[in-house]
């Protein structure tokens, strides 16, 4: 699926980003460097407003840095054209958000199918993959329900399914459990484990919660625009 | 309260685009109202001023037959000591291609009637008015007219009447700026000059009478009336002027109605913008309500804000309307000149009332448009205000009620139509009810249609297509209104196209049938039935002897004064082919024609029958020179020549009753082997040097008639395009609102890997679908309003009976226009969504 | 004699039909300026003595610019009611006759003649004065003048020969006068056998004669009542084209019927400084019709009183006329002070009483006086 010569999944080099606020540049990320290996699950720990989401957006190509480079599986996302970035994102990245961000006008099944349709997956294949994933998250019977008829946990499960349905190399999750109660959050972690690990996908998970960060293989802390790497899990 | 208002307002001020659309929509709606009203009003004023100047202090008029009165009547009355009378010989003349009313007066009798003097600059026109007697061909005109004709006192110029050129001399100028305001299109000459130019030697067009003060009681009116011979009648001058004005009343009402239609679309637009402004702030409103702002305070704040926006929009609308009015007035006065009377509308008179109407319409529309969403917003429980979906749920649950209202409106329209019978205003009310009713049905129909459309869009464009179409239904409170506005505008186009198309087809058929002769020879000049238009009798004899002429028909067209106003009379000398030119609406031609030829009665045109409530076998009274005579209506025939209607009788009967031998036009039939062009040349050569006659082929007359027809409807085109502009702004606003609201959704799609182009086409598909819906809905609504326009409005306003034909290409065009308008409206929003950085939106709830 | 002045009155009055009240006297309008003395070419002129032939010369004289018939008189009604009357017809050519091509058919309205008429009644008992004036085109139907039969009319007002006598009729509202008139004396010719010179320049003259003494009887309707009236009237008939140079302010005209059967006419042309113009003149007519011309220096006239018009202007009102050579002395008093016609311009034309003596023999009489140029 991904052609690469290295086992590094995400490589971030000297990444800087600032926003114009109140008439002056407000730096969010300053010369950030990081390397995340394929199959790793990494927590990006930081307080609200520390730049976690910005970093995720830069990695996925939704946003562009002021300087620096992002490489995913050897592809330099930051030097691509906007269109190529979009196509790259479409194929290789899955997103999970705190507020689920399902398309309200599409059914659960359609929310998944949309991603596959964008990737031009064959119709039979699409149906099978959707069913399989929804089965996995336990929502196969809700395929034709609209998102707003589901509970928060159910919506987040659909969101996981949507993020994985096209078998991305990288899954980016932004406070995925931030809006869930503890039990439901536990379900989430289990699903992530059972669904992502076997595919060898990389997971980068932004969170402000140390507890959540502990669930990951490794933790990177973002503070004052700088990334502090912990070699091991937080203990 | 102030803080509440500030909180609400500052939100808006940070979104000037939204505010801008509300203001623009408002302005365009108001502008159309003001412009049409100003144009109508200006034309009416110009005509009134002209009537007032020409009527002066006249209280009554003595009128006669088609060629007026014998001048001896006037002399006789004067010699009997009746002094408050003035003789008038009037007609229409052409100077440099422009039409003028020629008013022939006796300056000595004028003193107490009309005031031609100039003030301000101290110029004394009165003394110089004697120049009318001294200078052969002397005329007076207002200075403005002289400037336009590039003439100064002492200059000679040519005055053309029915193909004869006469030498005129400007003897003096009247001040047209301050006093003689209505005289822009009037030339004043001595009565002798007018008689000679107009071919009315020995005749008077009328005698003006001034019965003032205590003299104007019934007895003196009666006493004067008793002095008159059988062919003369004393009529009330004001009533006569009113009747002239009323000729164009239908035309003006129609214009006003069309402007109201534009306002209707404008109201939708205002409603859309205003309700969006409210809904967009639902989180803030929720917070404000939670903080303890009362419903009343909230409504007051929203209304104040709405009215402020309305004030700006209305102000701009009035300015725009005045500018637009100046353009429109040209079209209005041209149509009036083509069909009703000679008037030059030199300026837009800024009628306060017109402006007031525009302002009132704008503010009222806003009040309605704002109060609905304001009250809705205020009615939410504080917490609930936070959910967009609640609004939509409400909108959806309201649908059955709206549909019921719509049904009720349509039903009322039917009832009104059945009860009212002839009232034009009632006709328009019914039309409005139907259109508004249909518009109210739009959201329901959209809701029903969306699943089907979404399926087909899914097949054609996959999930993004489905996504786009479903969005329409999901935001029905917004899209429904936009679609309804577009539907109305397009329906108006469809309706007008159907009406104009059917009308044109009818006219074309009728022309084909009615124009039987190969060549027509007519005395030129303005006005179809002016008495001064006549072919010299000696020339007639020579013309019909031209090589290649087989035989001919002849007609005389004149106006006669009846008790119920002026009636157009047509006297025909029939050629064998002429008979087939009349299409009778009932009756057996086999019995009608012999009676007609024997002078046993008259034929009346369909509009005449309609206006006067006459049927076959009824009788109508016409004043002949022997006094009033009853004429049997032998038949009613189809005719599109005159909305006032025409009474047709045989030439022999006409001569017998009115002793007027003149001929207005000849219909020439050719020998089988004769060549059209050759004979036309020969006829023209024969007339050359005697009278500049119009010699036209059948084909030319037909084309010319259709050109006039088309010209008449230019103004309706203009109006419905204005309505389209309003609708366009409406759709643009709605789509913009939609894409703003849908910002997050679009951001997700971008995050999921949709390219900018894909997202933009999503917006375009959404718009296109709305356009398609509007277009599809507009077809039946348009056909229905077309039917109403033809069978109710046209009939009631102009008296014409038209068979409805469906112009297929116009329907296709309307559909295309609807879609294109919507797509055009999507360009900017589509471009905008590609500019958005989705990053920020994604983290919001 | 008064041709020039009347020309002005008439022209101005015609203009006043439609004129602005603030007429600018400097106004010019090409060649149409009839208020000015510019357009006299193309008309016939009174240059030489001519024979008069009646009744033809009672009729109009085409070719001359201005002509008028002018009847004034004093009438007695029943119960001592006394009235004065004036009925005047003017014929004014607005332009000289031309021989331009006539378009066929020609409108009967076509004319370059204008007619005006003034009608006034003085009601002595009520110290009242009423007048009316009219204008018309002289198309020969609404207004005109003919020599055979002799008739001049403006609508329903007329003056005409009736057998050997005359008839006149005028009516305005409740005022109506119908008279039969019969000349007691033959026509009296003024100036040089009817050629009345107005200045030294040849052609500045009019033809002028009077029927100085007409016995009149008829009916006068006034204020709803009808009176049988009788008395003496005076008819002036004058025509011409050009008159005086514009160095005169106006004139005072006296036409008096004296109790001894003689009649006196005199016009006092006033120069701008108020003094008498050398061409002022008059005619003395004996009971048998014999005439004597009165020269400018023959008579003395002294103003005895004045009357101020409520409309502005001060008119003389009462005179002493003395003719030393004939030992004639007359005092002339208006019977009503206000006999001013509010035409444009205004003038005073009124019935007067005369008392005096000639060669010691007491005389009395009645007459008419016309005063012009006293009011704007």
Inter-chain CB proximity A97 and B843 less than 8 Å: yes
Q: Which tens digit of pLDDT belongs to each residue from B72-96?
A: 999 999 998 888 888 999 888 889 8
Q: What span, in angstroms and rounded, lies between the C-alpha atoms of B776 and C8?
A: 82
**Interface present between C and A (3 or more CB pairs within 8 Å):** no
Q: Are A19 and A173 in contact (CB under 8 A)?
A: no
* Pick from A95, A97, A103: CB nearest B467: A103
- C23 at the B interface (CB within 8 A)? yes
Q: Is C26 buried (19+), middle (13-18) or exposed (0-12) by CB count in 10 A?
A: exposed
Smallest CA–CA separation between C28 and chain B, in Å? 9
Question: What residues does C314 pair with on adjacent strands?
Answer: C308
- B143 at the C interface (CB within 8 A)? no
Q: pLDDT digit of tens for each residue in chain C (376 aa)?
A: 444 455 545 555 444 433 322 222 322 222 223 333 445 677 888 888 999 998 999 999 998 888 999 999 999 999 889 999 999 999 988 888 765 555 567 899 998 888 989 999 999 999 999 999 888 999 899 999 999 899 999 999 999 999 889 999 999 888 999 999 999 999 999 998 999 887 777 777 889 999 999 999 999 999 889 999 999 999 999 998 865 556 667 789 999 999 999 999 998 888 888 888 888 899 999 999 999 999 988 999 999 999 999 998 899 999 999 999 999 999 999 999 999 998 767 889 999 999 999 999 999 999 999 998 888 6
Torsion of CA A144, A146, A151, A156, to 10 degrees: 80
Inter-chain CB proximity C94 and B130 less than 8 Å: yes
Closest CA relative to residue B272, chosen from B560, B22, B581, B598:
B22
Pick B309 or A21 by higher pLDDT.
B309
ipTM of the complex: 0.87
Helix H, strand E, coil C: the string for B791-829 is HHHHHHHHCCCCCCCCCHHHHHHHHHHHHHHHHHHHHHH
Which residues lie closer than 8 Å to B369 by C-beta, 6 or more apart?
B267, B270, B271, B272, B273, B274, B275, B306
pLDDT at residue number A47: 83
Residue C155 tokens read as 């609508």
Q: What span, in angstroms and rounded, lies between the C-alpha atoms of A205 and A219?
A: 9
* Pick from B745, B752, B842: CB nearest A118: B752
Question: What residues does B571 pair with on adjacent strands?
Answer: B556, B649
Chain A contact set for B470 (CB, 8 A): 105-106
Closest CA relative to residue B89, chosen from B190, B236, B169, B232:
B190
Q: Is B219 buried (19+), middle (13-18) or exposed (0-12) by CB count in 10 A?
A: exposed
Q: Does pLDDT of A211 surpass 50?
A: yes
* Pick from B389, B744, B838: CB nearest A62: B838
Q: Testing the interface with B: which of C7, C20, C35, C133 to mutate, by most B Cβ within 10 A? A: C20
Q: What span, in angstroms and rounded, lies between the C-alpha atoms of B231 and B62?
A: 10
Phi, psi of C54 (to 5 degrees): -110, 150
Q: Does pLDDT of A124 surpass 90?
A: no
* Residue ranges in chain B modelled with pLDDT below 50: 117-126, 384-386, 844-845
**Crossing angle between the packed helical segments B237-246 and B16-55, to the nearest 10 degrees:** 140
Question: What residues does A222 pair with on adjacent strands?
Answer: A227
Give me the domain span that covers residue A21: 8-230
Q: What span, in angstroms and rounded, lies between the C-alpha atoms of A29 and A51?
A: 7
pLDDT at residue number B572: 92
Smallest CA–CA separation between B826 and chain A, in Å? 20
Q: What span, in angstroms and rounded, lies between the C-alpha atoms of B444 and B294?
A: 33
Q: Which helix (H) or strand (E) holds B422?
A: none
pLDDT at residue number B121: 31
Q: How far apart are the first and last CA of chain C?
A: 21
Domain range C3-97+112-371, its CATH number among 3.40.50.720, 2.60.40.10, 2.70.70.10, 2.40.370.10: 2.40.370.10
CA B443, B447, B448, B450 torsion: positive or negative? positive
Which chain A residue is nearest to residue B462, measuring alpha carbons?
Answer: A117
Q: Are B286 and B378 in contact (CB under 8 A)?
A: no
The proportion of chain A whose per-residue pLDDT surpasses 90, expressed as a percent, equals 0
Tokens 């408002």 locate to B26
In sequence order, what DSSP letters do the residues of B746-771 get, joined into one string?
A: HHHHHHTT--HHHHHHHHHHHHHHHH
Angle at B675 between CA B671 and CA B681, to 5 degrees: 110
Tokens 């002129």 locate to C45
Q: Testing the interface with C: which of B57, B124, B196 to mutate, by most C Cβ within 10 A? A: B124
- C105 at the B interface (CB within 8 A)? yes
Number of domains into which chain A is organized: 1
- If you average pLDDT over every residue of chain B, what do you get? 80
A63 inside domain = yes
Q: Are strands B627-637 and B601-605 parallel, antiparallel or unpaired?
A: parallel
Inter-chain CB proximity C141 and B108 less than 8 Å: no
Inter-chain CB proximity B754 and A117 less than 8 Å: no
Q: Which tens digit of pLDDT belongs to each residue from B645-679?
A: 889 999 999 999 998 888 988 999 999 988 988 99
* Pick from B467, B843, B845: CB nearest A106: B467
Q: What's the whole-model pTM score?
A: 0.73
Q: Does pLDDT of A134 surpass 90?
A: no
Q: What span, in angstroms and rounded, lies between the C-alpha atoms of B466 and C104?
A: 86
Q: For the residues A55-67, what does the mean pLDDT come to?
A: 86
pLDDT at residue number B77: 92
- B154 at the C interface (CB within 8 A)? yes
pLDDT at residue number C29: 29
Q: Which helix (H) or strand (E) holds C322?
A: strand C319-323
**Annotated domain spans of chain C:** 3-97+112-371
A158 inside domain = yes
Number of B–C residue contacts, CB under 8 Å: 133
Q: Are B225 and B219 in contact (CB under 8 A)?
A: no
pLDDT band per the 50, 70, 90 thresholds, residue A5: very low
Phi, psi of B732 (to 5 degrees): -55, -50
**Annotated domain spans of chain B:** 1-53+256-386, 524-692
**Crossing angle between the packed helical segments B476-514 and B714-741, to the nearest 10 degrees:** 160
């Amino acid at each position: 699926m991904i052609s690469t010569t290295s086992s590094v999944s995400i490589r971030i080099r000297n990444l800087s980003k600032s926003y114009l606020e109140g008439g002056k540049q407000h730096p969010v990320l300053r010369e950030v460097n990081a390397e995340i290996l394929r199959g790793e699950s990494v927590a990006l720990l930081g307080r609200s407003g520390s730049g976690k989401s910005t970093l995720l957006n830069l990695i996925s190509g939704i946003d562009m840095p002021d300087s620096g480079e992002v490489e995913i599986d050897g592809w330099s996302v930051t030097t691509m054209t906007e269109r190529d970035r979009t196509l790259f994102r479409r194929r290789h990245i899955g997103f999970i958000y705190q507020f689920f961000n399902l398309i309200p006008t599409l059914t659960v099944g359609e929310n998944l199918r949309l991603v596959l349709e964008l990737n031009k997956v064959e119709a039979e294949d699409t149906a099978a993959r959707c069913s399989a994933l929804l089965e996995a998250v336990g929502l196969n019977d809700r395929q034709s329900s609209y998102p707003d008829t589901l509970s928060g946990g159910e919506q987040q499960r659909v969101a996981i399914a949507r993020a994985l349905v096209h078998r991305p190399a990288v899954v980016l999750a932004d406070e995925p459990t931030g809006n869930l109660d503890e039990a439901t959050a536990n379900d989430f972690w289990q699903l992530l484990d059972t669904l992502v690990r076997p595919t060898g996908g990389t997971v980068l998970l932004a969170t402000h919660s140390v507890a959540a960060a502990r669930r990951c293989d490794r933790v990177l802390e973002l503070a004052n625009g700088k990334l502090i790497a912990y070699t091991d899990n937080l203990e | 309260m102030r803080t509440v208002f500030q909180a609400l307002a500052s939100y808006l001020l940070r979104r000037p685009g939204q505010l801008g659309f509300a203001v623009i929509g408002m302005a365009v709606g108001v502008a159309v109202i003001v412009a049409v009203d100003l144009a109508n009003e200006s034309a009416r004023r110009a005509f009134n001023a002209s009537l007032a100047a020409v009527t002066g202090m006249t209280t009554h008029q003595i009128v006669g037959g088609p060629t007026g009165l014998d001048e001896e009547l006037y002399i006789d009355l004067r010699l009997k000591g009746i002094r408050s009378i003035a003789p008038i010989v009037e007609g229409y003349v052409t100077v440099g291609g422009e039409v003028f009313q020629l008013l022939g007066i006796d300056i000595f009798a004028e003193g107490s009637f009309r005031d031609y003097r100039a003030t301000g600059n101290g110029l004394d026109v009165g003394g110089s008015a004697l120049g009318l007697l001294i200078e052969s061909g002397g005329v007076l005109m207002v200075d403005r007219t002289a400037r336009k004709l590039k003439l100064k006192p002492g200059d000679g110029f040519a005055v053309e009447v029915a193909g004869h050129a006469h030498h005129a001399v400007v003897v003096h100028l009247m001040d047209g700026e301050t006093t003689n305001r209505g005289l822009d299109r009037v030339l004043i000459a001595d009565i002798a000059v007018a008689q000679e130019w107009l071919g009315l030697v020995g005749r008077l067009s009328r005698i003006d009478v001034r019965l003032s003060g205590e003299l104007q009681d019934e007895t003196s009116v009666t006493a004067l009336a008793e002095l008159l011979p059988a062919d003369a009648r004393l009529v009330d001058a004001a009533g006569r002027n009113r009747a002239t004005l009323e000729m164009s009343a239908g035309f003006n009402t129609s214009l006003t109605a069309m402007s109201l239609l534009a306002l209707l679309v404008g109201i939708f637009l205002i409603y859309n913008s205003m309700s969006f402004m409210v809904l967009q702030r639902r989180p803030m409103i929720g917070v404000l309500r939670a903080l303890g702002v009362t419903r009343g305070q909230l409504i007051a704040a929203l209304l104040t804000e709405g009215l402020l926006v309305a004030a700006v929009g209305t102000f701009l609308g009035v300015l725009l309307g005045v500018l637009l009015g100046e353009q429109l007035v040209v079209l209005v006065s041209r149509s009036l000149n083509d069909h009703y009377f000679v008037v030059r509308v030199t300026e837009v008179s800024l009628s306060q009332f017109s402006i007031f109407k525009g302002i009132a319409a704008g503010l009222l529309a806003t009040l309605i448009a704002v109060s609905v969403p304001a009250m809705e917003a205020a009615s939410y429980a504080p917490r609930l205000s936070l959910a967009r979906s609640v609004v939509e749920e409400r909108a959806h649950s309201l649908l059955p009620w709206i549909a019921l209202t719509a049904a009720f409106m349509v039903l009322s329209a039917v009832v009104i139509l059945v009860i009212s019978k002839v009232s034009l205003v009632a006709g328009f009310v019914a039309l409005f009810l139907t259109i508004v009713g249909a518009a109210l049905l739009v959201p329901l129909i959209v809701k029903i249609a969306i699943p089907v459309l979404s399926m087909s869009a899914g097949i054609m464009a996959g999930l993004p297509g489905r996504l786009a179409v479903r969005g329409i239904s999901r935001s029905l409170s917004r899209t429904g209104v936009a679609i309804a506005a577009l539907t109305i505008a397009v329906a108006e186009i469809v309706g007008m196209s159907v009406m104009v198309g059917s009308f044109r087809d009818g006219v074309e058929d009728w022309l084909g049938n009615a124009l039987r002769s190969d060549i027509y020879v007519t005395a030129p000049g303005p006005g179809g039935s002016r008495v001064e238009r006549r072919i010299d009798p000696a020339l007639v004899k020579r013309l019909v002897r031209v090589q290649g002429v087989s035989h001919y028909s002849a007609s005389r067209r004149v106006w006669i004064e009846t008790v119920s106003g002026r009636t157009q009379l047509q006297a025909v000398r029939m050629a064998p082919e002429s008979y087939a030119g009349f299409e009778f609406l009932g009756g057996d031609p086999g019995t009608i024609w012999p009676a007609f030829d024997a002078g046993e009665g008259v034929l009346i045109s369909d509009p005449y029958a309609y206006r006067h409530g006459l049927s076959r076998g009824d009788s109508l009274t016409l004043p002949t020179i022997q006094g009033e005579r009853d004429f049997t209506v032998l038949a009613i025939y189809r005719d599109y020549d005159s909305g006032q209607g025409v009474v047709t009788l045989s030439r022999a009967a006409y001569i017998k009753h009115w002793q007027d031998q003149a001929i207005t036009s000849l219909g020439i039939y050719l020998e089988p082997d004769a060549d059209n062009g050759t004979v036309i040349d020969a006829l023209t050569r024969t007339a050359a040097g005697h009278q500049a006659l119009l010699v036209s082929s059948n084909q030319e007359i037909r084309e010319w008639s259709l050109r006039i027809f088309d010209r008449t409807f230019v103004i309706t085109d203009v109006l419905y395009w204005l309505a389209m502009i309003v609708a366009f702004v409406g759709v643009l606003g709605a789509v913009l609102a939609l894409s703003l609201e849908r910002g997050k959704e679009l951001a997700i799609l971008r995050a999921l890997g949709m390219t900018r182009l894909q997202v933009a086409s999503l917006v375009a598909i959404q718009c296109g679908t709305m356009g398609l819906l509007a277009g599809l809905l507009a077809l039946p609504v348009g056909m229905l309003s077309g039917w109403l326009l033809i069978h109710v409005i046209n009939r009631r306003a102009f008296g014409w009976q038209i068979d409805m034909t469906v112009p297929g290409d116009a329907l296709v065009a309307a559909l295309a226009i609807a879609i294109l308008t919507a797509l055009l409206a999507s360009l900017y929003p589509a471009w905008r969504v590609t500019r958005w950085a989705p990053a920020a939106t994604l983290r919001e709830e | 004699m008064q041709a020039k002045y009347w020309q002005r009155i008439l022209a101005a009055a015609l203009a006043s039909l439609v004129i602005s009240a603030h007429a600018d006297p400097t106004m010019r309008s090409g060649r149409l300026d009839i208020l000015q003395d510019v357009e006299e070419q193309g008309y016939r002129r009174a240059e030489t003595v001519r024979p008069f032939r009646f009744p033809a010369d009672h009729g109009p004289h085409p070719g001359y610019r201005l002509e008028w018939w002018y009847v004034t008189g004093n009438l007695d009604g029943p119960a001592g009611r006394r009235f004065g009357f004036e009925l005047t017809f003017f014929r004014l050519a607005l332009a000289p006759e031309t021989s331009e091509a006539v378009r066929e058919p020609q409108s009967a309205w076509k004319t370059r003649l204008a007619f005006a008429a003034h009608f006034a009644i003085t009601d002595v008992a009520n110290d009242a004065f009423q007048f009316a004036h009219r204008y018309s085109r002289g198309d020969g139907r609404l207004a005109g003048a003919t020599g055979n039969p002799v008739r001049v009319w403006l609508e329903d007002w007329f003056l005409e020969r009736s057998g050997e006598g005359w008839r006149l009729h005028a009516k305005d509202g409740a005022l109506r006068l119908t008279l039969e008139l019969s000349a007691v004396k033959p026509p009296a010719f003024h100036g040089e056998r009817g050629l009345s010179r107005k200045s030294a320049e040849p052609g500045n003259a009019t033809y002028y004669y009077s029927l100085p003494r007409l016995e009149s009887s008829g009916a006068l309707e006034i204020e709803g009542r009808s009176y049988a009236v009788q008395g003496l009237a005076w008819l002036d008939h004058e025509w011409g084209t050009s008159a005086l140079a514009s160095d005169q302010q106006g004139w005072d005209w006296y036409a008096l019927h004296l109790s001894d059967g003689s009649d006196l006419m005199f016009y006092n042309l006033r120069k701008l400084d108020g003094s008498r113009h050398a061409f002022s003149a008059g005619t003395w007519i004996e009971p048998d019709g014999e005439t004597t011309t009165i020269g400018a220096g023959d008579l003395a006239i002294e103003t005895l009183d004045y009357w101020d018009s409520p409309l502005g202007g001060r008119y003389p009102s009462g005179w002493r006329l003395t003719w030393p050579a004939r030992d004639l002395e007359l005092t002339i008093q208006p019977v009503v002070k206000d006999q001013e016609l509010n035409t444009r311009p205004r003038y005073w034309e009124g019935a007067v009483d005369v008392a005096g003596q000639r060669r010691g023999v007491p005389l009395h009489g009645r007459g008419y006086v016309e005063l012009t140029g006293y009011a704007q």
